[in-house]
Amino acid sequence: MDTYDLITRNAEEVVTDEEVRELADDPDGKRAYVGYEPSGVLHLGHLLTANKLIDLQEAGMGVVVLLADVHAYLNGKGTFEEIRDTAEQMKAQFVAYGLDEEQTEFVYGSEFQLDEEYALDLHELELSTTLNRAQRAMAEIQGGETAKVSHVVYPLMQTLDIEYLDLDLAVGGLDQRKVHMLAREELPELGYDVRPALHTPIVADLTSGEGKMSSSEGVTISMEDSTDDLEEKVNSAFCPPTRDPEGDLENPVLELFEYHVFPRFEEVVVERPEKYGGDLRYDDYESLAADLESGELHPADAKGTLASYLDELIAPGREKLLEIRG
């Protein structure tokens, strides 16, 4: 696959395409990052952006994972000590998932965000950004409760991270786009360069195909799920025999094949007894989706196969978690 295609595959949006093409022309030594508020258990949302980091490593870029402890603190996720603890667990699960420790730089936000220079730049951004703008940038991340002052400081710090970690590309789910747009506007105000951003899609809710899969409502798939949990969850998923259901609905089973399975496996094998036509083999998402649409691949077989590939993906992280928890 050509470098630009590898960098942008499965991205919902790149800002701007021209800037990302320039990066793809000379990726060696360039640095990309994703920041995560520490969470004790990784779910598929984390793994979607991690898949992108793995693509970027393959494209020759350096990859930074920001364990955003100060951000989690500002977002009311617990005491600093609790957050640090979960950050360690998060890091261990990312490594188990395949973000090689030698190739990936794991950085705690508190390692640089409490420095004087950073603090003074932050105050300068506080002066130049309206309250309204910062609140809008934060709306999708924070999810509704009354905004505290900490919630408007948060996106300004996320803006500065891009400069202070010396990055060439900011990666995140689509819910981060307003922060990245704010950063594109505000960094030049401080005399810093604008950096491109890449946003991964948000997967639909598993059982309804509507809205988004989130950890607060509906069914989510995480590193804590046993093989049986996975089978049960995937079997109850919405999976009409089409990739484009009516209205605002999505086919979450196909989305998981597209964003989670095909990026990590060369070939997907659907095991079927001979009397039902024998095994089916796919080396790309398109051909699997086409077979589901034509009826060649039955939704029940698609689900069983999805559950077993997801199981393979999360097994190392699940073991790590069990080990950590003793």
Spatial neighbors of 110 by CB under 8 A, at least 6 apart, are: 69, 70, 80
* C-beta neighbour count of 139 within 10 angstroms: 14
Binding residue per annotation — 33? yes
Query: Nearest approach, Cβ of 29 to ligand IYR (angstroms)?
Result: 20
Q: Which is nearer to ligand IYR, 129 or 158 (CB)?
A: 158
161 carries a ligand binding annotation: yes
Looking only at the bridges linking them, the beta strands covering 31-36 and 62-67 are: parallel
108 known ligand binder = no
- Per-position b or e across 28-44, b if 16+ CB within 10 A of its CB: eebbbbbbbbbbbbbbb
Question: Which spans of this chain sit near ligand IYR (rule: CB under 6 A)?
Answer: 34-37, 66, 68, 71, 141, 158, 161, 170, 172, 176
Instruction: Give min distance, CB of 64 to ligand IYR, in A.
Output: 10
Q: Which of 261, 279, 260, 283 is nearest to 270 (CA)?
A: 279
Nearer to ligand IYR, 65 or 206 (CB): 65
Minimum CB–partner distance for residue 30 and ligand IYR (Å) = 16
Query: Could you give the 3-state DSSP secondary structure of residue 282?
Result: strand
Contact 155, 179 (CB under 8 A): yes
For ligand IYR, the closer of residues 42 and 280 by Cβ is 42
Q: Is the peptide bond prior to 220 cis by the omega test (within 30 degrees of 0)?
A: no
Cβ at position 87, least distance to ligand IYR in Å:
12
Q: Compute the least distance from the CB of residue 170 to ligand IYR, in Å.
A: 6
Q: Which residue is nearest to ligand IYR (CB)?
A: 35
Residue 89 in marked binding region: no
Feature table: binding site: 33, 154, 158, 161, 176, 215
Feature table: binding site for ATP: 215
